[in-house]
A and B are shown apart, each in its own frame.
Chain A
């Protein structure tokens, strides 16, 4: 049963990691613009294409 000590420590570490990830994501403005990212992923990267083709 003493494995529990290690397991508890490990689980708290993992959970703590996710808490930090959450704080980081808020801090880097990822929740500031919820619509924008959804549109941005639809862009094609070939900007030089003109309408003539």
Chain B
């Protein structure tokens, strides 16, 4: 188990040793303790803490279980947790002495994590209990306020490498969850009653042969009726409320004919039992409710640790330091006002539009605009909410409230006020089918009633009720829910997680796909190259020394691409923010920066990020974001079946490459602001397109919301992605076209199953119209039709998935 320990000592001295804590390759062997090498001081510290407390079993369960601690955390990052008002919002329980808090920890990934987190009591005696829900990545900690504060707990977790993600928004979401438990109870009750009714009906099925005594037949019938009551009134209440909600909005959804069939079946069964004329159809009724409930639960499977409903609040910090009377104090985000003076540290996000009072802002706006290059902003200028400071500490004065800032006002757009799941559900093909079905069924029933009115009025009630019972579209509902359930499972096994089953149908209708560029097509890493005048070693050394002094990301890239050179004293060095650097060395004059700054006239096709003018010779330094693997293969595949567009927040430097990938038919738009993207999608929809948006960041949030289906591409599905309909694991993007095909197939599978279910209905109707429907035949027909529908729908969807090269099990 202890890989580092088993190796002989001289091997450990080699720099290619994995860190004992996290498994990352160590750059040096300088950081070590007890023969174990660590990649950074953070990892070593974790080991020391665990070793002191006798918790080194952590390393025995898995080798290198930790997470790299190279980043570290700022000392007062969690100071805001000392604020009672904020802390109280996070507690699930507190009485002032004993408190319980539930923390979401994204870093949890293995059994070692679980073991360590459940032994938190060993690390601090203020912690009385810690319990982890592994699936949901939630740690519940019970602790004594007198011995440890919430802030200390969070900081302790962060030092051992399990930094919790704290957001008040996420906390509100958790409180809504227990609704699904109700459904499980309903299912349990339905299963219990269904099984017992089947058992009690057995004598009835066989009664003609065995001659069960009359008194028992009566007893069994009344017991069945008693057992059917909880199913009808409790388990089936889902269907009643859904049908009623539909009727109130003047539409017949699939649940309406089902409820009609349930009521008539139940009514007729009561009548038959009470008048002692038959045994009713309680076994079929409870069975159908049971199977339909299973279908619903399968279809509504939730991904516990993934959230689809995040807005900007999840990205923003809970609190920032506000400077009042010269002292910095944490202040909750919603209490920020205009004119407040705010302190912002490296890596923190600007909470509201503000003016820079002090410090050099180097703002990464990739969240907001999708543009990958940080922007330098000097004192007195405006910075916008959503930007991330990289570099020194900033002092800002807010000029807008949090919700009224440039980025956050995107969420005021009306597209955010509609509930997409409800919209999808309303326009679902299932409801359309069931509407026709209901209308045809009701007119058939009327015709039958009219026929019997003329021929023999006594037959009206029995024949019409039999018809409505047999023609219950439950097979259609079963087909839809089991197909959707299986497809959801297949998609998630292959890295596509849908918010709910209604998204499958929407995915099947898509005819236009819009891609974001930065972060979606490109992965964040860059490729570097030079063109033009070839630099010699002397020039490279000088350039390195010029570039290394600047904090601009381009300069940093240039310096690291050149490699390491010894230090040279430059004659002069001067940086003009936003333009470039002018320097001289031994009479050579050097300019690095924009085309304008270096006096270069770039040709149409060859535009580089940085130009270097060394005396009179010009070299261009190209920074090209690398595309994700398989993107160049995937796009042409998609182009066969869909129209494509690409929206980028970046400039059009990469237009050439992108045109090669997308082909000439696709629309490529550059320098698109978040609102532009939303409008573009809206425009496509107005021309009748069904649009799929694939994006990644907050800057796509509007477009993702407006589109028919918004998919967020994520390198780590537990990371925070903006509100969307589906999350695609970025490493599985090569399967994207197969996944779309599978979603496409859903429609056809449901239709096939529907046709088969209608065949069963026709058979059932013919039998019942002839008056031959005995309880026995009904009891055989019901499970057979149900089972075959379930098998067909799940079977075909699995076969389709296999054909497209998707894996069937996770």
Nearest-CB residue, chain A, relative to B61:
A42
Kindly provide the distance from the CB of A33 to the nearest chain B CB, expressed in whole angstroms: 4
Kindly provide the distance from the CB of A9 to the nearest chain B CB, expressed in whole angstroms: 10
- Does B184 touch A at the CB level, under 8 Å? yes
Of listed B57, B136, B185, residue having the most chain A CB within 10 A: B57
Say which residue of A15, A23, A43 sits within 8 Å of B115 (CB atoms): A43
Interface residues of A in 1-53 (CB under 8 A from B): 1, 4-5, 8, 12, 15-16, 18-19, 22-23, 26-27, 31-36, 39-40, 42-44, 47-52
- Does B653 touch A at the CB level, under 8 Å? no
Q: Are A39 and B111 in contact (CB under 8 A)?
A: yes
Also in contact, A19 and B188, with CB within 8 A (given A26-B181, A51-B56): yes
Also in contact, A49 and B57, with CB within 8 A (given A26-B185, A32-B133): yes
Also in contact, A44 and B185, with CB within 8 A (given A8-B223, A36-B134, A51-B51): no
Q: Are B192 and A31 in contact (CB under 8 A)?
A: no
Of listed A18, A43, A44, residue having the most chain B CB within 10 A: A43
Cα separation A8 to B203 with both chains bound (whole Å):
13
Kindly provide the distance from the CB of B580 to the nearest chain A CB, expressed in whole angstroms: 54
Task: State the interface size on chain B (CB cutoff 8 A).
Answer: 34
Q: Are A36 and B59 in contact (CB under 8 A)?
A: no
Also in contact, A36 and B56, with CB within 8 A (given A8-B223, A12-B196, A15-B192): no
Interface residues of B in 31-80 (CB under 8 A from A): 34, 51, 54-57, 59-61
Cα separation A51 to B196 with both chains bound (whole Å):
57
Also in contact, A35 and B181, with CB within 8 A (given A22-B188, A48-B54, A49-B56): no
Q: Are B189 and A19 in contact (CB under 8 A)?
A: yes
Of listed B2, B114, B136, residue having the most chain A CB within 10 A: B114
Kindly provide the distance from the CB of B375 to the nearest chain A CB, expressed in whole angstroms: 44
Nearest-CB residue, chain A, relative to B188:
A22
Q: Are A15 and B2 in contact (CB under 8 A)?
A: no
Q: Are B54 and A47 in contact (CB under 8 A)?
A: yes
Interface residues of B in 697-729 (CB under 8 A from A): none
Residues of B contacting A8 in the complex (Cβ-Cβ under 8 angstroms): 200, 219, 223
Say which residue of B119, B132, B184, B219 sits within 8 Å of A36 (CB atoms): B132
Residues of B contacting A26 in the complex (Cβ-Cβ under 8 angstroms): 181, 184-185, 188
Kindly provide the distance from the CB of B32 to the nearest chain A CB, expressed in whole angstroms: 14
Q: Are A50 and B54 in contact (CB under 8 A)?
A: yes
Residues of A contacting B219 in the complex (Cβ-Cβ under 8 angstroms): 5, 8
Cα separation A50 to B113 with both chains bound (whole Å):
17
Q: Are B111 and A42 in contact (CB under 8 A)?
A: yes
Cα separation A1 to B51 with both chains bound (whole Å):
72
Q: Are A40 and B54 in contact (CB under 8 A)?
A: no
Q: Are B213 and A1 in contact (CB under 8 A)?
A: yes
Cα separation A27 to B495 with both chains bound (whole Å):
31
Residues of B contacting A51 in the complex (Cβ-Cβ under 8 angstroms): 2, 34, 51, 56, 59-60
- Does B216 touch A at the CB level, under 8 Å? yes
Cα separation A51 to B53 with both chains bound (whole Å):
11
Residues of A contacting B54 in the complex (Cβ-Cβ under 8 angstroms): 47-50
Cα separation A48 to B122 with both chains bound (whole Å):
10
Nearest-CB residue, chain A, relative to B58:
A51
Cα separation A19 to B122 with both chains bound (whole Å):
39
Interface residues of B in 181-212 (CB under 8 A from A): 181, 184-185, 188-189, 192, 195-196, 200
Q: Are B122 and A15 in contact (CB under 8 A)?
A: no
Nearest-CB residue, chain A, relative to B54:
A48
Encode B492-526 as 1/0 by CB contact (under 8 A) with A. 00000000000000000000000000000000000
Q: Are B119 and A47 in contact (CB under 8 A)?
A: yes
- Does B348 touch A at the CB level, under 8 Å? no
Nearest-CB residue, chain A, relative to B136:
A33
Residues of A contacting B61 in the complex (Cβ-Cβ under 8 angstroms): 42
Cα separation A36 to B136 with both chains bound (whole Å):
10
- Does B629 touch A at the CB level, under 8 Å? no
Residues of B contacting A22 in the complex (Cβ-Cβ under 8 angstroms): 188, 192
Cα separation A27 to B181 with both chains bound (whole Å):
8
Also in contact, A39 and B114, with CB within 8 A (given A47-B122, A51-B2): yes
Nearest-CB residue, chain A, relative to B195:
A15
- Does B326 touch A at the CB level, under 8 Å? no
- Does B688 touch A at the CB level, under 8 Å? no
- Does B566 touch A at the CB level, under 8 Å? no
- Does B118 touch A at the CB level, under 8 Å? yes
- Does B135 touch A at the CB level, under 8 Å? yes
Cα separation A19 to B166 with both chains bound (whole Å):
39
Nearest-CB residue, chain B, relative to A12:
B196
Nearest-CB residue, chain B, relative to A37:
B134
Interface residues of B in 128-156 (CB under 8 A from A): 132-136
Q: Are A47 and B57 in contact (CB under 8 A)?
A: yes
**19 further interface pairs, Cβ-Cβ under 8 Å (given A33-B133, A33-B135):** A5-B219, A15-B192, A15-B195, A19-B188, A22-B188, A26-B185, A36-B114, A36-B133, A39-B114, A39-B115, A39-B134, A40-B118, A43-B118, A44-B57, A47-B55, A47-B119, A47-B122, A51-B56, A52-B34
> Lowest 6 CB-CB distances: which A-B pairs, in order?
A36-B134, A51-B56, A39-B111, A33-B133, A19-B192, A48-B54
**Would you mind naming 10 contact pairs between A and B with Cβ atoms under 8 Å apart?**
A5-B219, A15-B195, A22-B192, A26-B185, A32-B133, A32-B136, A36-B134, A39-B111, A42-B111, A52-B34
